[in-house]
């Protein structure tokens, strides 16, 4: 099994954290999808990472499909609850956390364009998604130790990866001050080897 990923992608980090939490050995191939010589489109027609290459040659994407596959592949440390209502709630956390990353990545890419070509209204629209998303994450977390009552799940992993991505690309967003409960969650996640060993590298 081989994971094709970059070392900054929050979606790939989510997969890498799940691999570490579940003690699944997996080769890592670093491939930057923005590079001209990237092989990512050979495996994923959308040209996006992460891609998980299975031993039989099947290419799995995107990150939500991959983490679900991995959760089934090993019973160690279940990341998705079996019970359907809890499972859907975890997947909603993941959708929101990934959506914050989508908006942040979109701004990051837009800001790479020449300033005269940047669409400020569109950037503001993406920023609003981030701020509303953070508010909802914080409201849903409340004073619980983990996102879900039952304990550590994929919801915490997805949230931690999204917050880590904001730190990487938008250090000016002071989410820790606005949402101390998310700061507590992030610090707790950062003390896990799965998170410290996958911290974004530029």
Ligand X SMILES: N[C@@H](CCC(=O)N[C@@H](CS)C(=O)NCC(=O)O)C(=O)O
Binding stretches for ligand X (CB under 6 A)? 9, 11, 33, 47-50, 62-64, 98, 105
Distance CA 100, CA 128 (A): 10
Q: Which is nearer to ligand X, 133 or 179 (CB)?
A: 133
Q: Are 148 and 137 in contact (CB under 8 A)?
A: no
State the minimum distance, in angstroms, from the CB of residue 140 to ligand X. 20
State the minimum distance, in angstroms, from the CB of residue 196 to ligand X. 20
Q: Which is nearer to ligand X, 141 or 158 (CB)?
A: 158
Concatenated DSSP letters for 104-157?
HHHHHHHTTS-GGG--HHHHHHHHHHHHHHHHHHHHHHTT-SSSBTTB--HHHH
Q: Which is nearer to ligand X, 50 or 179 (CB)?
A: 50
SS3 21: helix
State the minimum distance, in angstroms, from the CB of residue 34 to ligand X. 6
Q: Which is nearer to ligand X, 11 or 179 (CB)?
A: 11
């Amino acid at each position: 099994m081989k994971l094709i990923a970059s070392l900054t992608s929050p979606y790939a980090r989510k997969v890498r954290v799940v691999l570490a939490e579940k003690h699944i050995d997996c080769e890592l191939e670093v491939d930057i999808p923005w590079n001209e010589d990237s092989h990512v489109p050979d495996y994923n027609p959308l040209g996006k990472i992460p891609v998980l290459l299975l031993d039989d040659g099947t290419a799995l994407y995107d990150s939500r499909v991959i983490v679900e596959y991995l959760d089934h592949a090993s019973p160690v440390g279940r990341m998705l609850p079996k019970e359907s209502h809890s499972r859907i709630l975890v997947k909603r956390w993941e959708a929101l956390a990934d959506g914050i990353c989508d908006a942040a990545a979109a701004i990051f890419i837009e800001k790479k364009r020449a300033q005269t070509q940047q669409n400020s209204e569109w950037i503001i629209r993406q920023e609003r998604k981030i701020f509303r998303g953070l508010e909802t994450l914080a409201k849903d977390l409340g004073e619980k130790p983990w996102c879900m009552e039952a304990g550590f799940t994929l919801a915490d992993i997805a949230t931690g990866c999204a917050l880590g991505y904001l730190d990487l690309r938008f250090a000016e967003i002071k989410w820790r001050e606005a949402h101390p409960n998310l700061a507590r969650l992030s610090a707790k996640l950062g003390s896990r080897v799965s998170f410290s060993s996958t911290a974004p590298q530029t």
